[in-house]
């Protein structure tokens, strides 16, 4: 049961039964009451009427107070909704005074109706206070919004605090999750307090959290964590106020800053008093700022004017924010820190005299920004301008890291040169030198360097790892005879990565020396040169180091795109174009050149080294693709601009050993096999973006690879993804390299008898094709499909197989359309061989070409020839086999009996009908008629030759019946011709035409009119459309003879 109170009354209702229970059980603790105070009601009265442990709820709305509310009982005061408590006069500047332990103030909006001048003490104008020496415990101030109305002018003239805890005011206080703003100070804890300040949002104050301590033990009783500052920091977010002892600034400044949202922290404690340096987490610079040392200045409202003051004031690993403006000074940094400029408007200029220097050997080096003996110094978003003042400072440097590391990011460096620009060998924009072998890293990103004299960057020394990557731009002087400039130089023990930079216009036109876009000299093993753009650099990349990786670089317009010394490096995926020499190589050995594009150069690759390999490159469109004066060079598997391969001259006599139409190759170079198609699937991307599948061309020309010509191609196809193709030119090849990836292997179009594969062929994968029509092989060795392989996806066709074919895999191996020699197929396992070729594949294909036959017809044709038919008869027999399904023997018999001509004619006119075919083949049967059987009306003569008088008609009559069925033929075409023989022996046709069919007589008829005939013997021919004719003679006589 709860007690319910209002602000002005207290009631207790107890029923009889409950009273009896209390009497029976003894006295129980009093239950907490909830008291609600509405706007206009008196909060102090509610406190006065409350009992310890009660909850006083302030209803939503504005609660105006004219005097300080004394929380003198252990109660909780909490807002309901938007409950605002505001002091209405100067007497209520302390809105709440906590004078009892176990008090909670939460979820209130606490403010004043107006601002006031700064009070003499912090306790006098704080919204919430705990008086000194109160010794309270269990105090919680949580979830409140504490603020004054907006104050005008500089913060130094503001009044008000949000919370002040007087000296020894509390032994246990928690201030958490409050929002504080628009006061001079936010949360203030005086000496001797124990408590936690956590997760508050404090902004727009002069001092966000103020800590007063008398000793380190006193400081150790304070916990600050998770406090944040919004987007508008305080002048100082956290202040450790003055005390006469020396704290650990790393913990009190840097540690506290990190634990509180990178807060701006100043620690004014030092034993000497008033001379603390290195005691600020963040420093601000402005050219109009303070010019003298001060232990609390350097904030955003009271910045320093110089880097010297800022570097001295900031703690190691702190930050210096530099406003727009010009700072003409030498910046010396000997501890870890970060300098953050404001962009191109923040300019550090070289003074006329640089006093600080460092020694390299016997030389003094004069940097504008001098970083030394620190491992993590970052310089960001500003300009370093040497103003051409190198004349007064030999070995003039923009930014130097001497035995130091860190970062240069978003910086423009210019004017690091003499006036005028000269050949004096100095003027380096960024110079890093490690002499103590300590491991350090230097990052250089998004930096622009121009108007330098010697080097944009020179980064050296064992232990130094560089990361020169991400949009750095170096612009040299262009072609000049004044000095040999270099872009990015790394070496003498330094290593790392040089990537995604653009270097242009470094070119020395004088004698003996050269300019390099990227210069690597005696660098640590494994240095990486990646994805850089180098344009109009005399030497694009000059590399004299071991185990380097040169990849993804875009090099154009150079004298030498790359100069490579050293050993064991890899050059991959670069574009080297439109240069005099793409690569000059004199290393021993260099591992591989792969996936590079060499195009538009006078010489693509000038090779003068040993044991290098060049594979999967596009070497096309150069005057000379490869010029090799070194030892044997493996340049297999490259694209030379033509499927025909390169023009190759082994002995430099300009007489080619091989005359391909691609780029020219000189010297002792292995170039076969080569790529048969342009391998670059995306010419817009640097390097060869290797397409798949690939086509390899194998020819037994030039020096042979270690695996043999075909073996090298099979090995490459095994390595690449996809089902590649290998086209093998005529010749003899070792095919013993095992096949472990899907591939199509076939000869060039032509004769299998000209392309021989020797050695056992091992197929250890599915999706393999070996030979195809017109592109097969003569295979002398055995072929074996390995165990566990799906042989149904393997095809061996149109070859002359002279060994054993073994299928140890699953499924049926397709080995049809092969010639197996005179002894026939020799197989082991499940191998399909039919249809097989009865004679060599070349001969079968010649039959197909010569006679227009299909493959199966050509096979039948060969079989028929083997039955001793002539080619003419065999062709007719093939047609019979196709039309009517005769066996070879049956067709051969029929053709031999009737002749090819009769068979062809019968097939041509039968329309596929077998009865018609026989009729046409055997011929129509004929009968009836008079003398000679072909004259109507009983005409005839005693001698068997019928006689007719001149002018009489000769009645022609022919009956035709089917030779098998005896049925009359009614639709034949029957022609006649009448001839006589002249005295000189020539034949003269005197009449011809077509006979008509008479259904009544069942015969073909025609009457030949002899009017005008000369007396004599005439030959009459009756022709039928079965290809046959009938012949007889008649005698034409004069009347009366």
Q: CATH code at 91?
A: 2.160.20.10
Q: What are phi and psi of 935, to 5 degrees?
A: -115, 135
Same domain for 869 and 897, yes or no, is yes
Place of tokens 């009992």: 51
* CB distance 392 to 353 below 8 Å: yes
The full DSSP string for 687-741 is S--B-SS-EEEE-S-SSPPTT-HHHHHHHHHHHSSS-EEEEE-SEEEE--SPB-S
- d(Cα 162, Cα 931) in Å, to the nearest integer? 150
Looking at residue 1027, its pLDDT comes to: 79
Residue 117, classed as helix, strand or coil, is coil
Same domain for 811 and 904, yes or no, is no
Q: Of 870, 887, 922, which closes a domain?
A: 922
Residue 907 within any structural domain of the chain: yes
From residue 545, alpha-carbon distances to 170, 592, 610 in Å are 68, 15, 16
Same domain for 823 and 888, yes or no, is no
Residue 382 within any structural domain of the chain: yes
Residue in 131, 158, 132, 136 with CA at minimum distance from that of residue 147: 158
Close Cβ partners of 898 (under 8 Å, ≥ 6 residues apart)? 921, 922
Same domain for 485 and 470, yes or no, is yes
Total domains present in the chain: 5
Q: Enter the tokens of residue 575.
A: 């574009």
CA 940 to chain centre: 103
Beta bridge partners of 5: 10, 35
Residue 266 within any structural domain of the chain: no
From residue 796, alpha-carbon distances to 328, 698, 804 in Å are 82, 19, 13
- d(Cα 1002, Cα 926) in Å, to the nearest integer? 11
Same domain for 470 and 365, yes or no, is yes
Q: Of 922, 941, 962, which closes a domain?
A: 922
Looking at residue 933, its pLDDT comes to: 54
Same domain for 970 and 904, yes or no, is no
* CB distance 183 to 208 below 8 Å: no
Residue 663 within any structural domain of the chain: no
The full DSSP string for 842-876 is HHHHHHHHHHT--HHHHHHHHHHHHTT--HHHHHH
Same domain for 859 and 823, yes or no, is no
Secondary structure (H, E, C), 435-496: CCCCCEEEEEECCEEECECCEEEEEECCCEEEEEEEEEEEEEEEEECCCCCEEEEEECCCEE
The whole domain housing 428 covers 324-489
Looking at residue 1040, its pLDDT comes to: 57
- d(Cα 402, Cα 575) in Å, to the nearest integer? 36
Beta bridge partners of 647: 659, 664
Same domain for 218 and 346, yes or no, is no
Q: Of 458, 489, 520, which closes a domain?
A: 489
Close Cβ partners of 774 (under 8 Å, ≥ 6 residues apart)? 749, 750, 798, 845
Q: Which residues of the chain have pLDDT under 70?
A: 1-30, 590, 927-933, 936-944, 1040-1041
* CB distance 920 to 905 below 8 Å: yes
From residue 342, alpha-carbon distances to 208, 261, 333, 716 in Å are 25, 22, 19, 55
From residue 251, alpha-carbon distances to 198, 281, 298, 597, 615 in Å are 17, 11, 20, 56, 58
Residue 403, classed as helix, strand or coil, is coil
Same domain for 69 and 89, yes or no, is yes
Residue 627 within any structural domain of the chain: no
Same domain for 877 and 897, yes or no, is yes
Segments in 813-953 forming alpha helices (H): 841-851, 855-866, 871-884, 888-898, 900-910, 914-922
Same domain for 184 and 60, yes or no, is yes
Residue 555 within any structural domain of the chain: no
Looking at residue 927, its pLDDT comes to: 62
Same domain for 1011 and 898, yes or no, is no
pLDDT, tens only, 387-433: 999 999 999 999 999 999 999 999 999 999 999 999 999 999 999 99
Residue 698 within any structural domain of the chain: no
Residue 843 within any structural domain of the chain: no
* CB distance 166 to 202 below 8 Å: no
């Amino acid at each position: 049961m709860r007690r319910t109170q209002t602000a002005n009354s207290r009631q207790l209702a107890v029923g009889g039964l409950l009273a009896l229970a209390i009497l029976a059980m003894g006295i129980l603790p009093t239950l907490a009451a909830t008291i609600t105070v509405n706007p206009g009601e008196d909060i102090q009265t509610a406190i006065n009427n409350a009992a310890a442990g009660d909850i006083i709820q302030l209803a939503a709305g504005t609660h105006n107070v004219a005097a300080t509310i004394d929380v003198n009982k252990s109660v909780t005061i909490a807002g309901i909704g938007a409950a605002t408590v505001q002091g209405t006069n100067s007497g209520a500047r302390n809105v709440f005074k906590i004078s009892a332990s176990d008090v909670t103030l939460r979820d209130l909006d606490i403010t004043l109706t107006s601002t006031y001048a700064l009070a003499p003490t912090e306790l006098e104008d704080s919204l919430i206070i705990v008086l000194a020496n109160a010794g309270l415990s269990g105090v919680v101030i949580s979830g409140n919004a504490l603020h004054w109305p907006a104050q005008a002018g500089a913060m130094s003239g503001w009044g008000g605090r949000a919370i002040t805890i007087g000296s020894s005011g509390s032994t246990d206080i928690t201030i958490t999750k409050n929002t504080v703003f628009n006061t001079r100070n936010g949360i203030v804890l005086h000496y001797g307090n124990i408590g936690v300040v956590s997760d508050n949002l404090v902004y727009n104050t002069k001092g966000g959290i103020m800590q007063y301590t008398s000793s380190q033990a006193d400081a150790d009783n304070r916990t600050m964590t998770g406090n944040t500052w919004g987007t508008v920091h305080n002048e100082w977010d956290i202040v450790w106020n003055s005390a006469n002892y020396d704290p650990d600034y790393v913990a009190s400044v840097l540690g506290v800053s990190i634990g509180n949202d990178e807060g701006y922290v100043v620690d004014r404690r030092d034993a000497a008093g008033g001379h603390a340096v290195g005691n600020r987490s963040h420093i601000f610079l402005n050219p109009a700022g303070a010019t003298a040392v001060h232990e609390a200045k350097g904030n955003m409202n009271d910045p320093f004017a110089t880097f010297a003051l800022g570097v001295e004031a900031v703690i190691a690993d702190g930050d210096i924010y530099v406003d727009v403006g010009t700072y003409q000074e030498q910046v010396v940094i000997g501890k870890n820190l970060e300098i953050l400029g404001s962009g191109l408007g923040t300019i550090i200029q070289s003074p006329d005299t640089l006093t600080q220097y460092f020694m390299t050997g016997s030389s003094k080096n004069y940097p504008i920004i001098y970083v030394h003996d620190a491992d993590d110094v970052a310089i960001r978003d500003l300009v370093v301008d040497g103003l051409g003042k190198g004349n007064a400072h030999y070995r003039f440097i923009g930014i130097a890291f001497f035995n130091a590391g860190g970062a240069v990011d978003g910086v423009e460096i210019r004017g690091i040169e003499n006036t005028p620009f000269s050949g004096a060998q100095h003027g380096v924009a960024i110079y890093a030198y490690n002499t103590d072998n300590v491991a350090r890293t230097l990052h250089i990103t998004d930096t622009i360097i121009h108007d330098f004299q010697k080097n944009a960057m020179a980064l050296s020394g064992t232990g130094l790892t560089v990361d020169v990557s991400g949009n750095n731009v170096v612009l040299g002087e262009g072609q000049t005879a004044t000095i040999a400039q270099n872009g990015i130089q790394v070496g003498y023990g330094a290593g790392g990565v040089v990537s995604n930079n653009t270097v242009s216009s470094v070119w020395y036109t004088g004698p003996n020396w050269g300019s390099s876009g990227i210069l690597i000299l005696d660098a640590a093993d494994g240095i990486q040169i990646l994805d850089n753009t180098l344009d109009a650099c005399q030497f694009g990349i000059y590399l004299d180091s071991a185990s380097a990786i040169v990849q993804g670089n875009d090099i154009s317009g150079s004298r030498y795109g790359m100069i490579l010394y050293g050993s064991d490096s890899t050059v991959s995926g670069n574009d080297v174009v439109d240069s005099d020499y793409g690569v000059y190589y004199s290393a021993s050995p260099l591992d591989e050149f792969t996936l590079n594009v060499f195009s538009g150069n006078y010489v693509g690759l000038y090779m003068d080294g040993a044991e290098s390999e060049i594979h999967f490159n596009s070497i096309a469109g150069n005057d000379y693709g490869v010029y090799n004066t070194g030892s044997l060079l493996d340049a297999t598997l490259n694209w030379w601009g033509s499927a025909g391969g390169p023009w190759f001259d082994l002995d430099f006599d300009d007489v080619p050993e091989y005359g391909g139409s691609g780029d020219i190759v000189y010297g002792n170079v292995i170039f076969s096999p080569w790529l048969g198609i342009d391998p670059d699937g995306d010419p817009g991307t640097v390097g060869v973006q290797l397409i798949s599948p690939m086509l390899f061309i194998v020819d037994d020309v030039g020096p042979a690879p270690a695996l043999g010509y075909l073996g090298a191609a099979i090995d490459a196809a095994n390595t690449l993804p996809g089902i590649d193709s290998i086209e093998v030119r005529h010749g003899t090849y070792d095919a013993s390299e095992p096949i472990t990836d899907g591939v199509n292997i076939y000869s060039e179009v032509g004769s299998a008898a000209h392309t021989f594969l020797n050695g056992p062929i091992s197929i250890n994968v599915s999706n393999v094709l070996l030979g195809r029509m017109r592109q097969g092989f003569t295979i002398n060795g055995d072929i074996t499909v390995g165990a566990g392989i799906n042989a149904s996806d393997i095809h061996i066709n149109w070859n002359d197989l002279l060994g054993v074919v073994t299928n140890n895999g699953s499924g049926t191996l397709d080995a049809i359309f092969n010639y197996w020699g005179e002894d026939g197929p020799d197989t082991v396992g499940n191998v399909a061989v039919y249809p097989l070729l009865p004679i060599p594949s070349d001969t079968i294909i010649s039959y197909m070409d010569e006679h227009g036959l299909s493959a199966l017809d050509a096979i039948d044709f060969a079989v028929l020839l083997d039955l001793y038919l002539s080619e003419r008869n065999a062709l007719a027999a093939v047609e019979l086999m196709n039309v009517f399904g005769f066996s070879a023997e049956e067709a051969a018999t029929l053709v031999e009996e009737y002749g090819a001509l009769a068979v062809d004619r019968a097939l041509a006119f039968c329309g596929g009908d077998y009865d018609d075919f026989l009729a046409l083949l055997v011929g129509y049967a004929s009968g009836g008629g008079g003398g000679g059987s072909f004259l109507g009306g009983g005409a005839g003569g005693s001698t068997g030759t019928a006689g007719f008088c001149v002018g009489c008609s000769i009645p022609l009559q022919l009956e035709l019946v089917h030779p098998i069925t005896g049925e009359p033929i009614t639709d034949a075409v029957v022609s006649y011709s009448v001839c006589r023989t002249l005295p000189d022996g020539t034949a003269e046709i005197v009449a011809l035409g077509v006979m008509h069919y008479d259904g009544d007589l069942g015969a073909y008829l025609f009457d030949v009119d002899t009017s005008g005939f000369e007396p004599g013997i005439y030959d009459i021919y009756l022709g039928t459309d079965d290809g046959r004719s009938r012949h007889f003679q008649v005698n034409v006589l004069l009347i009366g003879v």
